[in-house]
Structure 1
Amino acid sequence: MRDQRVRSGEIELAVRVRGEDGRPTVVLVHGYPDTGAMWDDVAERLAGRFRVVVYDVRGAGASSGPSDPLDYRLDALVGDLEAVLDGVGADEPVHLVGHDWGSVQGWEAVIGDRLRGRIASFTSISGPDRRHLARWVRTAVRSGPRGVAAVVGQARRSVYMPVFMAPRVGEAAARVLAAGFGRVMRLREGAEPRPGHPADTLAVDARNGLGLYRANMGRGAGTSGDGRTDVPVQLIIPVKDRYGSQSLLLSARGPVPRLYVRRAPAGHWVARSHPDLVARWVTEFVDHIEGGPETPGIAHARAAGEPGKDFGGDLVVITGAGSGIGRATAHAFAAAGARVVVADIDEGAAKRTMDEIDAAGGEAHIYGVDVADAEAMETFAQYVRDTFGVPDIVVNNAGVAIAGSLLDTSEEEWARIRSINLDGMYRGSRLFGRQMVDRGEWGHIVNIASMAAFLPSPELPAYSATKAAVLQMSECLRLDLDRYGIGVTAVCPGAIDTPITGNTRFVGLPPSVDAELRDRMGRAVERRGFPPEKVARTILRAVRQDTPVALVAAEARFGRALSRVSPTANRALARLGRRAGDRIRADVERLV
């Protein structure tokens, strides 16, 4: 390891080089309010394979600052990077890695002509290009209310920016940031302070770095052009980043034809909290760009970078996928680029779903499994891991329904509905959740609950009990898996036109009455006209946005709100439903 000084105009940059000469060069550029020491953990892991160059950007750490406090324009920062490349004798194209503002200037370097031919690849972490950002805002706003909401949500995340840009107020904010930075790293990022980070110069660095915002932010600042680059780019997206939404960080899709996307189970400072993961991904990417084979991880990342394929390359496991919500969800994920494992107790139905997906140009595989069989689920989980790898997304959807008084529900009927609706989701969550945790990357589990989880019904006591348990289990599991960057969503659809309605058995009634009630209920839900495809779209959106509880139909939204605002009114509504059910049952019994 050797230190040197490099001049860039009036600036002297502090540079540290690790590793042996003659190896591919990796250059690590930090953001605000860091110094190059932020990269120490990653750099040490990379130095065994590469020559690693780290430097303090102007105004930070041991580097000098400009005489003009606004001389932090991106073209000046790219000039600093050019000086560093010259100073360390980087004769061959280097592999650039940037975080935060280091990533923003990295985009400037790979999009512009100044360093054309000198950068072999770029890994961007939590720092979008300004042109991509502007394009994302325009597209999102034009797309409708959800797009506007995404922009507003990102604006809330970025509320600190105008504060930093304001005279005097920004300096006060920088002092507060410096005083609490170590605590933020520990409590929010899971990264304990260590020697070198936060730096002893943090107070000065935070004040000097305000020039980054003041020189480069504002109306029309460098947002012309489409932001195209021929340099292969790897996006590492921390799914728990508090400052950049996933949709914003993915704004490079389209302008960057050779885009590779990875999702990290971490917050903004992923290089500090997960250095092994970052170093492994950088190594894998650099090796591939240097001529190495396309590993399964690289193939997945490449597929995830395709425009319009939000789940490109992801492996999605769906139970109960032979019909209804499961089938529609399998189609939706496959259309979004995912590889889908279609699981169902009815292998014929699963094969029909697979054939439909194949005919549409997607990728699907089938597996016959009874989620109520613990041993079979163990075998299923092992098969998926050994054959396809660890799933990125699991949708526990398989379920059944029975109706009628709890007093008429036998031990066998109770055991059956519990073993499928609750135990099946427990097994899917536990078995695949363990695989996700052991892998140490991003993942998401979706459990299909019901509005019956919060709307009491004397006609659906067993079904409601299992779905309420699924909802609470999902809430608990979400808190448990949050530390690993794995999301959990409970979906409460509402009255959806699926086969489960027609297959519902009414206990305690003669077969003829049971059949007539099922037929009437099926027709009523069919007239309601809410197809499972709408549920599938909600599921995909919930995974993208990491939604804790996703409510689909209007009745589910109303029921959830009523259960929270007025439990008494909720019970009164259930009594009205009971009376209506009693009248329908009496009519049916007279008819049959």
Structure 2
Amino acid sequence: MTAAARHLTVTGPSGLPLSVHAEGDPAHPTVVLVHGYPDTHRVWDDVAADLSADHHVVRYDVRGAGGSGRPERVRDYRLEHLADDLTAVADAVSPDRPVHVVAHDWGSIQSWEAVTRPGAEARIASYTSISGPCLDHIGHWARHRFARPTPRHLAQLAGQAAHSWYIVAFHLPGLAPLAWQHGLAARWDSVLRLVEGVTPRAGDPRSARELAGDAVRGIGLYRANMLPRLLNPGQRPTLVPVQTITLTEDNYVSPALTEGLERWAPQLWRRTIPVGHWGALLEKGTTVARMVREFTAHHEGGPALPRAPRRLVVLTGAGSGIGRATALAFAERGAEVVLLDRDLESAERTVELARLLGATAHAYQVDVSDGAAMDALAAKVAAEHGVPDVLVNNAGVGHSGSFLETTEAEWKRVLDVNLWGVIHGCRAFGALMAARGEGGHIVNLASAAAYLPSRMLAAYATSKAGVSMLSDCLRAELAGQGIKVSAIYPGIVNTNITRSTTFSGLDDAEQTAQRRRVSGLYARRNFPPEKVAAAIVKAVADDRPFVPVTVEAKAARVLGRLSPGLIRTAARFRLG
């Protein structure tokens, strides 16, 4: 065999011919890709193109689909026959070496049957399951929830029932075949665009009539297996290493279905992609390929992988105040934290505190106003620790002064840190999140001053209003990539920002006196940064886009909506 694309026919134990397509060097680890319903092997085009550079990639049309043989009876679609087909393909393309199986949708359901057979670990080196659980496992999953009907369990059952509406339709005589034959197949591309939000693959050579034929035959998958396995589930453990890729936006398979999977697959790794059912293969093929490559490499003797998703959090201005408190809040919840600050010594002190909580922590020195430095540091962080799951743009400076008193240098200082620092952070780390394809969360620290004008806060309020609008724009732009954005609006918080705040038109002695006065005001208010940190952690957990924190920040927000004229009038008064 050569490394060129090859086509062969494999006949399984039942005598049905299977159309098999292979590419890549056979000397490399073999990956067998198994498609779902109503697809063919072509749904894997993007994944196969990426993986074939360093893997022997094998795809085949499952029975009843594409170029493979067509069973005559519904019972010929039973899972045991489908598992036999997978084994026959593996034996044909890699007779002397275990294969890595990667499967999606019904391809994943049928591959679980092979993976959970006794001794499967000798033939299957690893298994990556995408949006297709083992039916026996789901039978036990449902029984457990019915036996312990807590509100959470009932919500999970109801949620999956809503996801599975089509299964009922597939069991009704004649309904699904008629739908496929009289319009659904011809409009399948539109369904993928409108319902799934993905662009159909132009390379699928099937006509509407051929798609309808594959889809109608594939209904046998549901009728032959669903009720028998769900109503009478068997015990199906496996010693094969399993990687589940959960699609968080899946319209058909809820993430809850993987809960408790460790019971059946003790060697379990979990990954997620913020995408819908078909988006994983049609839009995020390179992301899936990377996850598969990392998993197969690990089980071919390569680098270790974390069993559970590890949360990596990057924070700017992490040396004190809200930044330090937020770093410790994430560290206390098991996150690995990367702490950035212009003052390296203060960042290293936060590292020490985070490590006392049992967290992994790292400190780096950077000036957030320097775009090139931020780009370089983001690349370094990615190389040494990975792409962050959460970015908190917290670094900021304070300034007070009317517009006419504020000098150009003072404007530049405030905007460079408060606005450009956030822009640099979002661009440098946001680009890494987008390229990784696994989503993420960006948190930008604004201020109640963003929507509470004051004659004495022209530069500061403008910078924070810019952060607020930037956050809204980013939220819209990055939503399709699964990257969430939250803007946080603290009010008067007792941090050391007041000790570095500058005041227009004052000499050094007057600046020092005014800092003492303002710091005393903030100290008397005594709202601790730990409460802002708790709001940030909650914003990430609950995906909250707009979070006013203190009472005054919340009140100003409400008042600004009810009576904006009153807010503008109040802005004329000089406070402090």
Query: Common fold, TM-score beyond 0.5?
Result: yes
Match of 1:476 in 2: 473
Contact 1:2–1:18 (8 Å) recurs in 2? yes
What whole-Å deviation, never above 9, does each CA across 1:408-428 have from its counterpart, x for those lacking one?
Answer: 655444333222211100111
1:260 and 1:461 mapped to 2: Cα distance? 51
Q: Deviations over 1:458-485 (max 9, x none)?
A: 37554443233223223333444456x3
1:448 and 2:450 are equivalent in the alignment: no
The one-letter code of the counterpart of 1:537 is V
Q: Map residues 432-511 of structure 1 onto 2, 5 A cutoff.
A: 432-437=429-434, 439-450=435-446, 452=448, 455-458=451-454, 461-481=458-478, 485=481, 487-495=483-491, 497=493, 499=495, 503=499, 505=501, 507=503
Q: Is the counterpart of residue 118 in structure 1 residue 123 in structure 2?
A: yes
Larger mean Cα displacement after TM superposition, 97-106 or 44-53: 44-53
Aligned: 1:571 with 2:567:
no
Among 324, 329, 348, the residue aligned to 2:326: 329
Whole-angstrom distance in 1 between the partners of 2:546 and 2:164: 26
Provide the residue aligned with 2:188 in structure 1. 181
Whole-Å Cα distance in 2 between the matches of residues 552 and 244 of structure 1?
Answer: 35
State the alpha-carbon separation in 2 of the partners of residues 161 and 407 from structure 1: 69
Q: Name the residue aligned to 1:537.
A: 537
Residue equivalent to 2:3: none
Distance 2:140 2:553 in 1: 34
Among residues 289, 293, 299, which one is paired with 1:289 in the alignment?
A: 299
Unmatched 5+ stretches in structure 1: none
User: Given residue 370 of structure 1, which amino acid in structure 2 is its aligned partner?
Assistant: D
Q: Which runs of 5+ in 2 are unaligned?
A: 1-5
SS at match of 2:101: strand
Report deviation, 1:487: 1.2
> Which amino acid counterpart does residue 100 of structure 1 have in structure 2?
D
In terms of mean alpha carbon deviation, does 230-239 or 551-560 score higher? 551-560
The residue aligned with 1:201 is 210
- Any conservation in 1 of the 2:33–2:102 contact (CA below 8 Å)? yes
The amino acid that maps onto 2:298 is H
Alignment match, 1:58: 63
Q: Given the two structures, how large is their TM-score scaled by the length of structure 1?
A: 0.77
Take 1:500 and 1:141, find their aligned partners in 2: how far apart are those partners?
54
Would you say 1:549 and 2:545 are equivalent positions? yes
Instruction: Tell me the equivalent position of 2:22.
Output: 18
Whole-Å separation in 2 of the counterparts to 1:181 and 1:557? 49
Partner SS state of residue 239, structure 2: coil
Aligned length: 559
- Matched with 2:525 is 524
Which SS does the other structure have where 1:179 is aligned?
coil
Q: Is the 8 A contact 2:441 2:540 kept in 1?
A: no
Deviation, structure 1 residue 343: 0.7
SS at match of 1:342: strand
AA aligned opposite 1:421: N
Matched residue of 2:11: which SS? strand
1:270 aligns with one of 280, 283, 286 = 280
Q: CA deviation at 1:31?
A: 0.6
Verify the 8 A CA contact 1:455 1:574 in the aligned structure 2.
Answer: no
- Residue by residue over 1:549-587, the C-alpha shift from the partner in whole angstroms, topping out at 9 and shown as x without a partner, is 153648699679859xxx6515267369769x87xx5xx
Give the distance between the partners of 2:553 and 2:170, measured in 1 at CA. 40
Greater CA deviation, 150-159 or 232-241?
150-159
- Correspondence 1:361-440 to 2 at 5 A: 361-385=358-382, 387-388=384-385, 390-402=387-399, 406=403, 409-437=406-434, 439-440=435-436
Partner of 2:230: 221
Which residue identity lines up with residue 19 of structure 2 in the other structure? V
Q: Distance in 1 between matches of 2:70 and 2:132?
A: 22
Whether the 8 Å contact between 1:24 and 1:94 is mirrored in structure 2 is: yes
Aligned 8 A contact 1:501 1:521 in 2: no
| SS in structure 1 of the partner of residue 296 of structure 2 | helix
- Structure 1 136/322 Cα, relative in aligned 2: closer, same or farther at 3 Å? farther
CA apart distance, 1:448: 1.7
Question: Residues of 1 paired with 2:444 and 2:154: CA distance?
Answer: 28
Displacement of 1:98: 0.4
- Contact kept? 2:16, 2:71, Cα under 8 Å: no
1:560 and 1:38 map into 2 onto residues whose CA distance is 52
**Is the CA contact (8 Å cut-off) linking 1:182 and 1:198 kept in structure 2?**
no
Q: What's the secondary structure of 2:185's corresponding residue?
A: helix
CA contact (8 A) 1:456 1:574 kept: yes
SS of aligned partner of 2:186: helix
Describe the SS at the equivalent of 2:230.
coil
Q: Distance in 2 between matches of 1:266 and 1:345?
A: 37
Q: Aligned AA for 1:569?
A: L
Q: Give the Å deviation of 1:28.
A: 1.6
Distance (whole Å) between structure 2 residues aligned to residue 504 and residue 196 of structure 1: 66
Distance 1:531 1:50, change over 3 A: closer
Quote the Cα distance in structure 1 between the aligned partners of 2:449 and 2:108: 45
Contact 1:46–1:279 (CA under 8 A) maintained in structure 2? yes
- Cα deviation, 1:81-114, whole Å, max 9, x if unaligned, reads 3454456674543221101121122233323437
Identify if the C-alpha distance between structure 1 residues 569 and 93 changes in structure 2 by more than 3 Å, giving closer, same or farther: same
Distance in 1, matches of 2:561 and 2:297, equals 63
Instruction: Decide whether the 8 Å contact of 2:448 with 2:491 is kept in 1.
Output: no
Query: Which amino acid is 1:93 matched to?
Result: P
Q: Which moved more, 1:361-370 or 1:51-60?
A: 51-60
Amino acid at match of 2:38: P
Q: Say whether the 8 Å CA contact 1:449–1:491 is kept in structure 2.
A: yes
TM-superposed CA distance for 1:341, in Å, is 1.6
Distance 1:373 1:276, change over 3 A: closer
CA contact (8 A) 1:454 1:560 kept: no
Question: Against the structure 1 CA distance between its residues 116 and 354, is the aligned structure 2 distance closer, same or farther, given a 3 Å change threshold?
Answer: closer
Residues 272 and 378 of structure 1, relative CA distance in 2, 3 Å threshold: closer
Q: Distance in 2 between matches of 1:373 and 1:495?
A: 27
What are the superposed Cα offsets for residues 488-518 of structure 1, whole Å, 9 maximum, x if unpaired? 4123254485516755859579765664454
Cα distance in 2 between the residues matched to 1:178 and 1:36:
18
CA distance in 1, matches of 2:11, 2:419: 63
**Superposition pairs for residues 240-251 of structure 1, below 5 Å?**
241=250, 243-244=252-253
Q: What is the 5 A alignment of 1:287-326?
A: 287-290=297-300, 292-294=301-303, 299=304, 302-303=305-306, 305-306=307-308, 310=309, 312=310, 315-326=312-323
CA distance in 1 between counterparts of 2:146 and 2:341 reads 37
The 5-angstrom pairing of residues 30-49 of structure 1 reads 30-43=35-48, 46=51
- Tell me how far apart the structure 2 counterparts of residues 133 and 468 of structure 1 sit (CA, whole Å): 52
Shift of 1:194: 1.0
Q: Is 1:3 the equivalent of 2:8?
A: yes
Are 1:349 and 2:350 counterparts? Answer: no
Q: Percent identity?
A: 37
Letter in 1 for 2:534: K
Match of 2:357 in 1: 360
Which residue identity does 1:538 align to in structure 2?
A: K
1:203, distance to aligned residue in structure 2 (A) = 0.8
CA deviations on 1:27-81 (whole Å, 9 max, x unpaired) are: 2211111012323454465556555443322332234454444764444433443
Tell me, yes or no, if the aligned pair for 1:402 and 1:460 is still in contact at 8 Å: yes
Paired residue for 1:233?
A: 242
Closer/same/farther in 2, CA of residues 371 and 255 from structure 1, 3 Å limit: farther
